[in-house]
Chains A and B, each alone.
Chain A
Amino acid sequence: MGAAGGRALRRGAAVRLVRLHLLSRQVPGALLALVGCGIALRCVLLLHWVVGDGAAAQQTPLLIEAAAASVVAVAARNPFGESERSTGRWLPYLRVGSALALTGAVVGLLAAGAAGAHLPGGCWELLRSVAGLTGIGLLSAAALGGAVSWVGPLAYTVVAEFALAAAWRTPWIWVTRPGHDTGAGLFVVLVLLAGVVLIALRGPRD
């Protein structure tokens, strides 16, 4: 077999590995759920349940963003347990790749859902919120397990909803800060980075 044949074989094996990994994480189902989140956001905006740019206007989109982040976190679970954890070097890359690809899908689908309508804070705040909530979801998957990783984004959302109602202004609750706020942006980057690194190196708790 020539070098080109060997490369094609390796590429074929890589594609097959990625496909099997994504299937085992039920990524097709997760994508369907994310499409549902995009449609829900579209309906909320078209039905004018969100008015203006104030704190109250952010509450419903935040719930949808938390639901989408929970889908990403739950898809990080490992159905194979320890037999998978004792395998070679590709697993961390597969974990990170699927988590980031799904996060990208969340941003794309929610941005598509909000296209042409008025979303409080715009796409930049959407990206920040999805990134932060996904980071919390991945941390939650590493600490609690993939199946219950939705607990993290849900708990954060409850606190954030309260913070919005009470007009808090802390960077820890990024939705209470404007889109260009450096402290809130930095916090979101750190949370996402921590979640991605932990899920790559340790994986979700079995």
Chain B
Amino acid sequence: MNVEINDLTRRFGRTRAVDGVDLRTGPGVLGLLGPNGAGKTSLLRMIATVIPPSSGTLRLLERDPGAAGPRREIRRRLGYLPQDLGYYPGFTVVDFVEYFALLKEVPPARVPAAVAAAVERVGLGDKAKSKLRTLSGGMLRRAGIAQAIVNDPELLLFDEPTAGLDPEQRVEFRTLLRDLGTRATVVVSTHLVEDVGAACGEVVLMHQGRIAFQGTPEQLTARGEGHGTGDAPLERGYSAVLAEARS
């Protein structure tokens, strides 16, 4: 198991953003669904080793991120695209991706090829020498995806990766997700139910910091039969589970 979470809780003041979550997952694509404030981003930030849990245990890539040495090892093998991607506007796409390759200790001899491959995989090959300040929101998002995958990570975390992407780019991104999921554990937090249906083998639906549903997209769809609201079967499953959690 690349991610093992037991009774994980994260508090911000008196608010429990994540409340007693248990989760285990290996290679494949896991979709993290839920309304705003459900705790998806807080859970992802803990898995990204950016914030520590308030209580509970977390093991990533069979290591304890609470200890400095294992945490360093996890970070070398981790890719993370946060919700708010920060960047230095004076960098080119290659500078940006190369900086992260070097920070993540990609072997120096492999850096140029790894950077070129990551930039090509997100479809920014023709913009490789462009400054980030000249890119559109969707292109910046793709540059962010490139920095996350440049070290060929075993654990990949995407927070709202398709925000700002046009429909064609979203379809391409789902293909990339499926490909990445054949080797790595990919956790994708999203509001877009159709992204989960198209790319994820497993789905977790969060509500008020807790897991309200865990299973396959087909199982979530089945929960919506005869219930819920929404245009697509998966949306009906999503709204049916949420309605049940709220009642």
Residues of A within 8 A of B (CB): 1, 6, 9-10, 12-13, 16-17, 20-21, 23-24, 26, 78-91, 206
B105 close to A20 (CB less than 8 A):
no
B72 contact set on A, CB distance < 8 A: 88-89
Contact of A9 among B76, B84, B86, B109 (CB under 8 A): B109
B118 at the interface (CB under 8 A from A): no
The 9 A-B pairs at the shortest CB distance, nearest first, are namely: A81-B86, A13-B108, A87-B103, A17-B102, A24-B88, A82-B82, A20-B99, A9-B108, A80-B86
Q: Which residues of B in the span 84-106 have a Cβ within 8 Å of any Cβ on A?
A: 84-88, 90-91, 95, 98-100, 102-105
Among B99, B103, B147, find the residue whose CB has the most chain A CB atoms closer than 10 A: B103
Interface mask (B136-158 → A, CB under 8 Å = 1, otherwise 0): 00000000100110000000000
Complex Cα distance, B76 from A9, in Å, reads 19
Residues of B within 8 A of A (CB): 45, 48-50, 72, 75-76, 78, 80-82, 84-88, 90-91, 95, 98-100, 102-105, 108-109, 111, 144, 147-148
Among A6, A20, A82, find the residue whose CB has the most chain B CB atoms closer than 10 A: A82
Query: How close is A183's CB to chain B, nearest CB, in angstroms?
Result: 34
In the complex, which residue of chain A has the Cβ closest to the Cβ of B100?
A87
Q: How many A-B residue pairs have CB under 8 A?
A: 83
B75 contact set on A, CB distance < 8 A: 86-89
In the complex, which residue of chain B has the Cβ closest to the Cβ of A82?
B82
B82 contact set on A, CB distance < 8 A: 81-83
A10 close to B108 (CB less than 8 A):
yes
A80 close to B87 (CB less than 8 A):
yes
Complex Cα distance, B105 from A23, in Å, reads 19
A13 close to B102 (CB less than 8 A):
yes
B78 close to A86 (CB less than 8 A):
yes
A17 close to B103 (CB less than 8 A):
yes
B49 contact set on A, CB distance < 8 A: 86
Among A10, A16, A80, find the residue whose CB has the most chain B CB atoms closer than 10 A: A80
B78 close to A80 (CB less than 8 A):
no
A26 contact set on B, CB distance < 8 A: 88
Given contacts A24-B88, A88-B105, A90-B103, 18 further A-B contacts (CB under 8 A): A12-B108, A13-B108, A16-B98, A23-B95, A79-B87, A80-B86, A82-B48, A83-B81, A83-B85, A83-B100, A84-B86, A86-B48, A86-B50, A86-B80, A87-B100, A88-B103, A89-B75, A90-B105
Complex Cα distance, B97 from A38, in Å, reads 36
A24 close to B91 (CB less than 8 A):
yes
Complex Cα distance, B105 from A24, in Å, reads 18
Contact of A82 among B45, B76, B87 (CB under 8 A): B45
Complex Cα distance, B100 from A84, in Å, reads 7
B99 close to A82 (CB less than 8 A):
no
Complex Cα distance, B85 from A84, in Å, reads 10
Query: How close is B147's CB to chain A, nearest CB, in angstroms?
Result: 6
A84 close to B90 (CB less than 8 A):
no
Contact of A20 among B98, B104, B148 (CB under 8 A): B98
Among A17, A79, A83, A206, find the residue whose CB has the most chain B CB atoms closer than 10 A: A83
B104 contact set on A, CB distance < 8 A: 87-88
B98 contact set on A, CB distance < 8 A: 16, 20
